[in-house]
Amino acid sequence: MRYARSVLDAEWIETPIRVRYGETDQMGHAYYANYLYWFEVARGDWCRAHGFTYKSLESDGYFLPVVEVWARYRGEIVYDDDIVVRVRVAEVRRAAIKFEYEVLSASGTKKTDGYTWHVLMGAERKAVTIPEWLRDKLVGVA
């Protein structure tokens, strides 16, 4: 059984976003907490591209809460900027998944990077082993 995955061959999924006025602070810069929202939007796109959604997981009795988040801000993003949020699976453990993110400007300059850790939980809200069908989707097995 496979329990770990290298990030070296992980596929990036890209989600374009235009920064809305309501996502900025009083100085016109993107408010830091919105990066976590953008991570979530991109992660949802990644899941759909790999054949499942959070809704389908929940219908099957699984939940995938965020248990850890980290972000490094490298440059400013302001109102009306076009950005791209890139996401990929970085690691898969027995019951946990790490997603990595990059936020790029329209010119391709990295503005932010980060990650989130998630634990797969069953209906009893306790960690469960990632089933093989889901593990295959996460690690790119056809």
pLDDT of residue 1: 43
Domain residue ranges in the chain:
13-139
pTM of the model as a whole: 0.91
What pLDDT does residue 24 have?
96
CATH 3.30.465.10 fits 13-139, yes or no: no
Strands of the 66-73 sheet, one edge to the other: 13-18, 82-92, 96-105, 110-119, 66-73
Decide if pLDDT at 2 tops 50: no
Q: Is the pLDDT of residue 3 over 60?
A: no
Report pLDDT digits (tens) over 19-71: 999 999 999 999 999 999 999 999 999 999 999 999 999 999 999 999 999 99
Provide the CA 126 distance to its chain's centre, in angstroms: 21
